[in-house]
């Protein structure tokens, strides 16, 4: 299907069998990049003047057997089409005869990060193609100081894209796959430029997922009663996923639109299509312990992801006097999802990793450790009443370390 009036910057308006917007339009697929072109357009300088085009190098791999099915390069198409490289790929993907019954891993190496319009189209694409996992490595960040472009990058990650800046291994892979077989030789200040781009991206993504200081101190406060001025304490879930290669993914959820934070978290991690052959560690910080339904779904998630080590820290126990909620804690611990109560080290780690604290160290509130010890004793009593041994002793050594809207609330 063609639309002669489509500009490339308009929304993709055609509809594919999966309900995704698309267009089969003007695009030019090439196989290789000249060495001089690569070294000019992919050079990750802080100020990259004169680089007015975007190169998108891609691989499509069948997940079941890691077979490389397709690879190539798209460029932004100039006027009159003005078709961005990202939209060229989405158009090409729809025209390629790939089975909806198989899972695919797609990797992009890009000279510039996507613009907000393209980011929106990528998120829509992933929403309608749950069999596709997309990883994007970018050499440079496009208009990274512009709030609209920052929001576009955050939307990509929140929509399921794995977004990273290119470091030496990614430059080397891109060079060998799309340039030539010669050894990749970094340019001057290469590693310094890589570090700068990565810090900039982490700052953008981090700020988009950060809690305000006041929100953290109200919602994670472990006092038995809410402090004055009274604000309803709802469920917040902060998580960090660490892959075997060291890559980190972080995020925060709260109850919203009929979904508890735990269910939103499970939906988010499931959309990432984790490699079942790799090991992962996920650490969750919760303001309230899970309700029975969420505990059941967390246990099912762990059962379907045996190579995921899932650890849950809670600030407070939710309806801990009710037998059904005690059973929920029992179910989690017997499903290899250990639950423990947050102490001072965990509050400090959560503060460092998930709060926009402007480099201020965590300051304990009054009686924090007293409240924590009281809640932990209650948790151990509950577990022992169900015949469960203390499974939480080893969790105290866990440190996340530094990295370079409710259904009805949960009031006990």
Q: Which helix (H) or strand (E) holds 380?
A: helix 368-385
Q: Give the C-alpha distances (Å, rounded to integers) separating 8 from 85, 109, 179, 238.
A: 10, 21, 27, 37
Residue 150's contacts (CB-CB under 8 Å, 6 or more residues apart) are 144, 204, 207, 208
CB 407 within 8 A of CB 258: yes
CB 82 within 8 A of CB 118: no
Catalytic annotation on 86? yes
What angle separates helix 116-127 from helix 85-95, to the nearest 10 degrees?
20
The DSSP line for 233-278 is: ---EEEEEEEETTS-EEEEEEE-BTTB-HHHHHHHHHHHT---TTS
Local structure of 116: helix, strand or coil: helix
Residue 339's Cβ-side half-sphere holds a number of Cα atoms within 13 Å equal to 33
Strands 132-140 vs 162-165: parallel, antiparallel or unpaired: parallel
Residue 187's contacts (CB-CB under 8 Å, 6 or more residues apart) are 39, 43
What's the rounded Cα separation, in Å, for the pair 338 and 312?
A: 6
Q: Name the catalytic one among 2, 86, 121, 360.
A: 86
The CB density around residue 41, as the number of other CB atoms within 10 Å, is 21
What's the rounded Cα separation, in Å, for the pair 120 and 159?
A: 9
What's the rounded Cα separation, in Å, for the pair 333 and 391?
A: 7
CB 131 within 8 A of CB 104: yes
Residue 410's contacts (CB-CB under 8 Å, 6 or more residues apart) are 233, 234, 235, 255, 287, 288, 291, 318
Nearest in space to 126 (alpha carbons), one of 117, 135, 139: 135
CB 172 within 8 A of CB 194: no
Q: Show which residues are catalytic.
A: 86
């Amino acid at each position: 299907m063609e639309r002669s009036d489509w500009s490339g910057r308009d929304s993709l308006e055609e509809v594919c069998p999966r309900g995704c917007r698309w267009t089969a339009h003007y695009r030019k697929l090439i196989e290789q990049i000249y060495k001089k072109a690569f070294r000019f357009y992919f050079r990750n300088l802080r100020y990259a003047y004169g680089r007015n085009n975007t190169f998108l190098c891609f691989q499509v791999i069948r997940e079941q057997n890691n077979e490389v099915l397709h690879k190539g390069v798209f460029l932004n198409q100039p006027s009159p089409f003005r078709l961005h490289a990202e939209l060229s790929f989405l158009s090409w993907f729809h025209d390629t005869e790939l089975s909806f019954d198989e899972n695919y891993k797609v990797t992009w190496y890009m000279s510039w990060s996507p613009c907000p319009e393209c980011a929106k189209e990528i998120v829509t694409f992933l929403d309608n193609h749950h069999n596709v996992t997309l990883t994007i490595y970018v050499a440079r960040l496009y208009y990274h100081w512009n709030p609209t472009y920052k929001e576009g990058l955050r939307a990509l990650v929140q929509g399921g894209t794995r977004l990273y800046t290119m470091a030496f291994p990614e430059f080397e892979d891109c060079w060998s796959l799309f340039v030539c077989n010669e050894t990749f030789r970094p340019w001057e200040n290469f590693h310094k430029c890589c570090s700068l781009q990565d810090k900039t991206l982490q700052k953008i993504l981090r700020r988009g997922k950060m809690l305000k200081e006041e929100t953290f101190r109200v919602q994670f406060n472990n006092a038995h009663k809410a402090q004055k001025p009274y604000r309803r304490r709802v469920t917040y879930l902060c998580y960090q996923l660490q892959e075997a290669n060291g890559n980190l993914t972080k995020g925060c959820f709260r109850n919203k639109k009929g979904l508890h934070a735990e269910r939103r978290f499970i939906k988010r991690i499931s959309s990432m299509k984790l490699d079942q052959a790799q090991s992962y560690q996920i650490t969750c910080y919760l303001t309230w312990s899970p309700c029975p339904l969420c505990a059941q779904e967390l246990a099912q998630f762990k059962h379907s992801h045996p190579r995921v080590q899932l650890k849950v820290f809670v600030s407070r126990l939710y309806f801990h006097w009710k037998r059904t909620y005690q059973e929920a804690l029992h179910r989690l611990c017997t499903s290899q999802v250990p639950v423990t109560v947050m102490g001072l080290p965990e509050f400090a780690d959560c503060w460092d990793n998930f709060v926009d604290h402007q480099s201020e160290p965590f300051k304990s509130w009054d009686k924090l450790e007293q409240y924590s010890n009281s809640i932990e004793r209650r948790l151990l009593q509950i577990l022992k009443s169900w015949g469960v041994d203390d499974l939480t002793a080893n969790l105290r050594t866990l440190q996340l370390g530094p990295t370079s809207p409710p259904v009805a609330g949960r009031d006990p």
